[in-house]
Structure 1
Amino acid sequence: MRPASLRIPLYCVLWLFSFILLALAIARLNYTLHLPKGDPLNHGADFYDPVVVELLVDSFLAFAFVPFVFNFLDRFLNHKISKAVVEVIALAILWLLWLIGCGIATSIWPNLTFCYNFTTCRVLAAMTAFAWLGWLTICALLVVGFFSVFVKQRDSDLGSSDGMVEWARGVPAGSIP
């Protein structure tokens, strides 16, 4: 299987996970910024979790990055830099941002089984789970991206009997001026 055939499904999965995480982060922010009267969370005072904002930004960046890779990346690049290199650099930045968000969210909410009967706890658990799933998808995309960067397919000279690639055969003796 070629690495390029893995990219499209992985990017579709990342786009889906980013959308779900975006929706969950918005739901969490909406809840914490508009706490109902008498809510025991934070004594009823509105607040927001910085890690939720960070996951919101991460998911938005990934959600916006996927269409950019397929449609616009060639338009903004000069031909000195390969599309695969730019893609791997952007994925590495996303990987780091998602890892930070996932790690902080997991350290704040390591075990929410005691409150699964509340919707807000289920939102936090789902948000953490989809953050880790998105990070794993970015890991897979990075591996596929590294294959694209380091493994290059070159056309061979079909007319030669030894089947060597044209640039590897070298310059024949006597043809140097």
Structure 2
Amino acid sequence: MASVRLPLYCILWFFSVVVFGLTITRLNYTLHLPKGDPLNHGADFYDPVVAELLVCSLLAFGFAPFIFKPDFMSALRVNLFSEVSPAVTETIALAALWLLWLIGAGIATSIWPNLSFCYNFAACRVLAAMTAFAWLGWLTVCGLLVISLFPFFQKDRPPISSRTIEWVGSTSPSVVSAV
């Protein structure tokens, strides 16, 4: 699975950089509207979902290097999470990223479901690309989350209990005394 994980993390890193750039572009546009812009009657604003996608992209951008395990990252992980296995830490982090990317991409899609009517404006193209790359990032996190669950199902574990029941005070496991 390592042969699939590393390329997926590289793809996630790339998508998070693209979403980061697109969200910064959108925030720059909406927070500095040019005079005469009909959007929001010319008043500066920002879309909360764009800020949420910015945070998602930053978290994914910052999380991806932990997987490559350079010396300083593994030393940090040993000191902070010594009691928790790396597989559990990775799965929890990916589950949080999965939820954040799903919320961001879902809300962006519900706000801007069809932008084909305004593709001649750069702001619309930025929104369409941002939404598309948000969904691509979410799909990548989905794949990584599924792959991160494999070690939990492949691990050999001892049986929880034996198949025989031993009763207290009896001489053989199959004899039950009635009171």
Range of TM-score over shorter length: 0.7 to 0.9
Matched pairs, number: 154
Residues of 1 paired with 2:88 and 2:152: CA distance?
6
Larger CA deviation: 140-149 vs 106-115: 140-149
The answer to whether residue 46 in structure 2 is matched with residue 9 in structure 1 is no
- The letter of the residue matching 2:64 is V
**1:79-94 correspondence to structure 2 within 5 Å:** 79-94=82-97
Residues of 1 paired with 2:103 and 2:37: CA distance?
30
If you compute each CA radius of gyration, which structure gives the higher value, 1 or 2?
A: 2
- The letter of the residue matching 1:121 is C
Q: Which residue number corresponds to residue 27 of structure 2?
A: 29
The answer to whether residue 105 in structure 2 is matched with residue 102 in structure 1 is yes
Q: CA deviation at 1:69?
A: 2.5
Residues of 2 paired with 1:61 and 1:4: CA distance?
22
Unaligned runs of 5+ in 2: 160-179
RMSD: 1.8
Q: Which residue number corresponds to residue 53 of structure 1?
A: 51
Unaligned runs of 5+ in 1: 155-166, 169-177
Residues of 2 paired with 1:51 and 1:11: CA distance?
24
Task: Pick the aligned partner of 1:127 from 106, 125, 130.
Answer: 130
> Among the aligned pairs, what percent are the same residue?
69
Residues of 2 paired with 1:74 and 1:143: CA distance?
26
Larger CA deviation: 100-109 vs 61-70: 61-70
Quick one: structure 1 residues 151 and 70, their matched pair in 2 at CA, closer, same or farther if it must change by over 3 Å? same
Residues of 2 paired with 1:140 and 1:52: CA distance?
24
